[in-house]
Amino acid sequence: MRPYEYAGGTAVLTGAASGIGRALAVDLASRGSHLALIDRDEEGLRTLVARLRPQYPDLKITTHGFDLSRIDEIPALADDVLREHGGLTLLINNAGVALSGSFEQLTLDEFEWVMTINFRAVVAVTKAFLPALLATPDSHVVNVSSLFGLIGPAGQSAYSSSKFAVRGFSEVLRHELAGRGVGVTTVHPGGIRTNIARNARLGSGVGAAEAGAGQREFERLLRMDPARAARVILAGVAHREPRVLVGSDAAVLDLLARLLPGSYGRVLAALQGRVGRS
């Protein structure tokens, strides 16, 4: 496929109000892309658009306050976006949530909440927009998985399961759409400096002291600026890369999982212990 052209295209972006999503929206606008921004945080969307519209008055930028856990309403959301923009050239499934606690400490409802937003919503949003993508030559889909879609560390059963599912879905979709004018990129961010750890829900069985220690340990791993992560992601999309690893930690741990597929957990535990003492 030809390189993806941002200027004059229309990007639909979920999870746009903060973190990587916000950085992607800013970078996309700077590249001349019209935007349909989706997030349940409507105030965050308003703040973002108040920044973008004066800088890019020629771009069409719409906001769509929506909770992606409402899976059955996603087709109507897509209809609203397409009614406003007429079509799209780029779909970025970025929205996600996190949940702290071992599998034993989680309820099934808590586990399902993560799977619904992180995986089922990705499938439903892609399904809803796929006809419009297929109708637009050289369009593209980006599904944001995670470093934890490459490795499965202890304490991340729900989150890692959802992100491995996104990875598998994306790979199948890429093969199915090959030759039909729609590219697919899977993104695996490492430690990006966002609020994901601070905003993570706690499993019902997680104690307060344990939760605080786990959050502090997780936050120490979040080092890359979201703006830099956005540049890496969009450069990968421009070149139609099938997979984008964001950060040296993602690259190193991906290699570790390939070299030691059955025993990398011991290395992870040692690394986490070292980080905890630093």
Going by pLDDT thresholds of 50, 70 and 90, the confidence category of residue 45 is very high
* pLDDT tens, residue by residue, 218-253: 555 556 889 999 999 999 999 999 999 998 888 988
Give the DSSP letter string of 41-99: -HHHHHHHHHHHHHH-TTS-EEEEE--TT-GGGHHHHHHHHHHHHS--SEEEE-----E
Going by pLDDT thresholds of 50, 70 and 90, the confidence category of residue 89 is very high
CATH for 269: 3.40.50.720
Going by pLDDT thresholds of 50, 70 and 90, the confidence category of residue 77 is very high
* pLDDT tens, residue by residue, 6-17: 999 999 999 999
* pLDDT tens, residue by residue, 205-225: 876 555 544 454 555 555 688
* pLDDT tens, residue by residue, 175-187: 999 999 999 999 9
Residue 200 within a domain: yes
> How large is the average pLDDT for residues 87-98?
97
Going by pLDDT thresholds of 50, 70 and 90, the confidence category of residue 71 is very high
Q: Give me the number of domains the chain comprises.
A: 1
Which of 4, 6, 56, 159 is catalytic? The answer is 159
Residue 147 within a domain: yes
Residue 37 within a domain: yes
Give the DSSP letter string of 106-152: S-HHHHHHHHIIIIIHHHHHHHHHHHHHHTSTTEEEEEE--GGGT--
Residue 5 within a domain: no
DSSP 3-state of 166: helix
> How large is the average pLDDT for residues 35-62?
98
Say how far apart CA 239 and CA 224 lie, in whole Å: 22
Residue 3 within a domain: no
- pLDDT, residue 100, reads 86
- pLDDT, residue 208, reads 58
Residue 19 within a domain: yes
Query: Which of 4-18, 153-167, 195-209 shows the lowest per-residue confidence on average (mean pLDDT)?
Result: 195-209
Going by pLDDT thresholds of 50, 70 and 90, the confidence category of residue 272 is low
- pLDDT, residue 221, reads 56
Q: Is 159 a catalytic residue?
A: yes
Say how far apart CA 69 and CA 177 lie, in whole Å: 26
202, pLDDT greater than 60 = yes
72, pLDDT greater than 50 = yes
Residue 152 within a domain: yes
Residue 26 within a domain: yes
* pLDDT tens, residue by residue, 257-268: 999 988 888 887
| Residue 126 belongs to domain spanning | 10-277
Mean of per-residue pLDDT scores for the chain: 90
From the CB of residue 113, how many other CB atoms can be counted at a distance below 10 Å? 17
Percent of the chain clearing pLDDT 70 (strictly above) = 88
Distance of CA 122 to the CA centre of its chain: 9
Q: Which residue has the higher pLDDT, 210 or 45?
A: 45
Q: Which residue has the higher pLDDT, 170 or 196?
A: 170
